[in-house]
Structure 1
Amino acid sequence: MTVQPGNSVRKGFSAGGYLNINKPQGWTSTDVVRKLKGITRSKKIGHGGTLDPLATGVLPICVGYATRFADTVLLGTKSYRITMELGSSTNTYDSTGDKTAEAEWTDVTSEQVEESLEQFKGKFNQIPPMFSALHHNGKRLYELARKGIEVERPARPVETFSLKLIEFNAPEVVIDVECGHGFYARTLAHDIGEALGSHAHLTGLVRTHAGAFRLEDSVTIEQVSVAAESGDWRDVAMPTDTTLQHMGQTTLTEAFVEMVKHGRQLAVGDIGKPGEYKSGDRIRAYTPDNELLAILIFEPEKLGWRPEKVFAAI
């Protein structure tokens, strides 16, 4: 995405938006949020999906009213480019940890790697790493791991939709994976090493897409800073409805806009055709100027469309 200083703020941003950040290596997701909070001067800001400090790539940041849709950032699949090294495993499953085992890797072939990938395609169970943010008896697993405590972690169902060997230059192996929610790339690297009998750990990770956010459309923290200094950070942002495209949409009349602004319900027949929607359906409601105004939920048992989320800033 190219920064164009001085551009007027685009439609759809008055209530906030998303920053599709290309996270630099060495930064935690919280580091990025803290930095951008200062740049955007926004009181409401958060990230949609943690990335380890070692990783780079897509980190969606929700700003303003977009924080109310942080859960929608996790919808859809994610893609990663994984770089792993054969020959040793670590307690963190990546290059930041201490070695826990070593093995010979010189006999491993690309054909064997290809064969090992088969067991990780589609649906399977994956045991989360100890160095993760999951809870165990009220504590984060990584807090226990740092004290040298290891606890049993139940395997969780995960799914990969695509898994390909990109480069084999032993001991380095590069793999692309598209996966669903809850998948750990570090665990995949570790488990491939175990399947090969050579041990392995992750040395590099790039998230190339997460839901509606893609690496080719991302911006750096520096670009956001330049945009803010030149005019408005929202010149390099994505609108709040970026993650709401799975919902239907409607444009309201001025009269309906005023009703929705004040939290008043619209009648069943005010939107759509008879039978077009079912109970619980949600739609995006826009003003005549194409500004996202609200999310409406269909409640025929209550004879109408209830404003579920209204952007009061509009």
Structure 2
Amino acid sequence: MFGILNLNKPAGWTSRDVVNRVSRIVGRKVKCGHAGTLDPLATGVLLVCIGKATKLVPYIHEFPKSYDGGFLFGKKSETDDLEGTLESVPIPADLTEETIQNLLPEFLGEIEQVPPVYSAVWVKGERAYDLARRGETVELSARKVNIDRLELSQFDNQSMTLSMTCGTGTYVRSLGRDIARRAGTEAVMSSLTRTSIGPFTLEDSISVDELDQERIQQKLQSPLILFERFPKYTANAEEIQLIRHGREVSIRSQGFSGNAGAGAHGGADAEKVIVIDEQGQLVAITENRKLLLAPQMVFPSPE
């Protein structure tokens, strides 16, 4: 079994819980892993990679992610969401929708953001949330993240909902917190839905409750969806055998499709070329080295 499953994670489940459910259905001998953690509070798109597709998680992380995040004004917690101990703070009487709208441009593009103390950021070899749970003081440095789209989709004087598209490493909790602080108050995240990861959308996801062996087989997506922007090379049987044994193969010009041969210069900047078989199945990720395709990651033949 080899592919990517687009699931709608339910609230109250950890991402690991979802992977465990899939693993029980497909069998413990089949490797499974998720691409992009969602907190138990959150719902929405959670990608579970099955079989050797687990090697492709770094490519999934390159895609932008979209979220709808709900926030309560006048509240703060050590977790920056409802999971922590809530403390009430004043809400300015003049806080309006226009106030928030005027602040949003400050948070677009490349910004600096301090992650929540209760986060998976590594600190001296440990996760920040593990240190925080032991009562240790955790000081996290600001780091750069990218916010490509940021919209206020709901507002009243007690709450707001932000819709956004952002790069990997962005903490939605921190974004709502920081916007509220700029408005003169605090806010905690009350809900979070991930609506997309690159080409994987919430509309196309399936419920965890629907999962069984047949449903997984039906909905398992080819990893090729991750590589639409890459040039493709259709290899013949002899070339596939060489590639699967780690051997380089010479490029035949008629084998190319897409951005054919654009990176034939090789060297450190050699572009990646996706090798497929004549049935359109993923064979390997290769590097174009002066018209030789060098295997970087090889995948099994379909069962």
Shared fold (TM-score, shorter chain, > 0.5) = yes
| Pairing 1:175–2:162 present | yes
Show the counterpart of 1:37: 23
CA contact (8 A) 1:95 1:203 kept: yes
User: Distance between the aligned counterparts of 2:261 and 2:217, measured in 1?
Assistant: 39
Show the counterpart of 1:242: 225
Show the counterpart of 2:299: 311
User: Distance between the aligned counterparts of 2:279 and 2:21, measured in 1?
Assistant: 33
Show the counterpart of 1:93: 80
| Pairing 1:21–2:7 present | yes
User: Distance between the aligned counterparts of 2:17 and 2:209, measured in 1?
Assistant: 14
| Pairing 1:292–2:278 present | no
**CA shift at 1:202, angstroms?**
0.5
Q: Secondary structure of 1:76's match?
A: coil
**CA shift at 1:75, angstroms?**
1.3
Gaps of 5+ in 1: 1-14
CA contact (8 A) 1:65 1:240 kept: no
TM-score, length basis structure 2: 0.91
Aligned length: 294
User: Distance between the aligned counterparts of 2:86 and 2:22, measured in 1?
Assistant: 35
CA 1:252–1:98: 2 relative to 1, 3 Å: same
Q: Secondary structure of 1:246's match?
A: coil
User: Distance between the aligned counterparts of 2:183 and 2:261, measured in 1?
Assistant: 59
User: Distance between the aligned counterparts of 1:275 and 1:123, measured in 2?
Assistant: 30
User: Distance between the aligned counterparts of 2:215 and 2:204, measured in 1?
Assistant: 18
Gaps of 5+ in 2: none
Show the counterpart of 1:112: 99
User: Distance between the aligned counterparts of 1:39 and 1:89, measured in 2?
Assistant: 40
Q: Which moved more, 1:85-94 or 1:140-149?
A: 140-149
| Pairing 1:127–2:127 present | no
**CA shift at 1:274, angstroms?**
7.2
Show the counterpart of 1:72: 59
CA contact (8 A) 1:74 1:211 kept: no
CA deviations on 1:102-142 (whole Å, 9 max, x unpaired) are 11355421111112222211221001110001111111111
Show the counterpart of 1:156: 143
User: Distance between the aligned counterparts of 1:291 and 1:248, measured in 2?
Assistant: 14
Aligned CA RMSD, in angstroms, stands at 1.9
Alignment equivalent of 1:265, drawn from 226, 235, 248: 248
Identity of aligned residues (%): 32
CA contact (8 A) 2:264 2:289 kept: no
Show the counterpart of 2:237: 254
Show the counterpart of 1:185: 172
**CA shift at 1:51, angstroms?**
0.6
CA deviations on 1:85-107 (whole Å, 9 max, x unpaired) are 11111110001111245113554
AA in 2 matched with 1:178:
T
Alignment equivalent of 1:200, drawn from 173, 183, 187: 187
**Segments ≥4 residues shifted beyond 3 Å:** 268-276
**CA shift at 1:50, angstroms?**
0.6
User: Distance between the aligned counterparts of 1:209 and 1:86, measured in 2?
Assistant: 26
Show the counterpart of 2:197: 210
